[in-house]
Amino acid sequence: MSWLADLEIGEKKMANLHMCRDGAHHDPRMEDAVFALGAGLKLFAVSAAAVWLGWIALQRAFSQLHLIWAGFCIGLIAILLIEVLGREAMGAAYPVMAIASCTSCSFFWLTSRALFRHDAAIGWPEMAIVAGIFLPTIFDQLALGLNFGAIIGESSLTLWMTRLDGMQAFFSSAALVLAFGEGLNGWSGISDSEKRIRYLFLSSFGAGVVICVMLFDHGRLTFVSPALTVLIQGLCAAMIMCSVSLAIIFRQKNPLPSGAARKTPPATEEEMAMAKRAHTLVAEGAYLDPDLKVSTLAQRLHEKDYKVSRAIVSALGHPNFNRFINGYRIRHAEGMLADTASSASILDIALDSGFASLGPFNRAFKEANGLTPREYRRQKEKAATGIGDGLSASEVFAE
């Protein structure tokens, strides 16, 4: 299974961990206290996962990072339910929970990609690794539920399950290595605050891997008492949940710059002059054209497309042309939304500000202000009149 599944459950490892050092004496009350503390830390980790799921749903935070993180949180909760309730008590729900628990490893790696990689698109290579972690567990549950042993023979079934378990271990190990590597991705040139959050992520993740995989899984800590094992597992779970949560909060406030913005050299005098011309032309109202593209702007400036794009990035500091143009459009929309006497709908404001449709406007506006256009308007209305909880029919249907 995944390393985080082993961290939370340790189902296959607990029998060995119950064998303490021969002749050792343990105070039952101390053992109970240590066990309770470890269980409490696990409960804290799962409670944090549940809070994240609730926040993502209520805030409609459906970015790639948040959706992947939600998948991990679901896997963590599934793991706890298996541990607390047990397989027999869960009945028919157990296969679903067992499969869901696979997200703990695979989705943790995908979370690290979304955190530290600007272009974190999921393609066939990523899907193959995730499938390599999920498929063995799916096969195991189908084999048990449909009694494959009676069809192909118990020995053949055991052989296939062993091979698939080996494949799962390989892909899980690959995901571990890749997750750690993502924290090192693009290290050169990042800010001090970015380095600090990555140090936190890498140290907590590395400690969890070493303790729960390298030591427990390979049997080097079999002399540790069961209660202390639960405590160590709980500490690792809480530590990783806290560090990744902080990393996600940090990323929400500090989005990664584009690759072009990170690697672009200082602007030349020619680029500075071109950027000034581009700024003047756009500020005069060119941004109100929803079909405005870098090629259109370049034609008006009588320059090459790539030169205009490079000037916008290097001289003006924008990650790309769309961010550059959207800045003007959003400021235009802010002025319209702040006009409490206006009855224009959110859709009308989006179109009048140069956006071609409502969806891109809402996303760009919230990214810039942390509020949706509707929330921004209501905030301005409250500040001006103390009223503003009501919505016009046009706003309701536009959103």
Measured CA distances, 374 to 143, 331, 385 (Å):
52, 15, 16
**Coil, strand or helix at 161:** helix
pTM value is 0.60
pLDDT of the residue at 14: 42
Domains of the chain with bracketed CATH: 3-256 (1.20.1070), 260-398 (1.10.10.60)
Q: Which residues of the chain have pLDDT under 50?
A: 1-3, 5-24, 218-219, 260-261, 388-399
pLDDT of the residue at 21: 40
pLDDT of the residue at 325: 93
Which tokens is 101 given? 């628990």
pLDDT of the residue at 237: 87
| For helices 226-253 and 192-209, angle between their N-to-C axes, nearest 10 degrees | 160
pLDDT of the residue at 9: 40
Nearest to 196 by CA among 187, 180, 64: 187
292 vs 296: CA distance, rounded Å: 6
Which tokens is 351 given? 């179109």
Contact 108, 73 (CB under 8 A): no
pLDDT of the residue at 27: 73
Amino acid identity, residue 231? Answer: L
pLDDT of the residue at 398: 43
Amino acid identity, residue 268? Answer: T
Contacts made by residues 256-259, CB under 8 angstroms, sequence distance 24+: 256/116, 256/117, 256/118, 257/118, 257/319, 258/118, 258/319, 258/320, 259/118, 259/119
Which tokens is 360 given? 């891109």
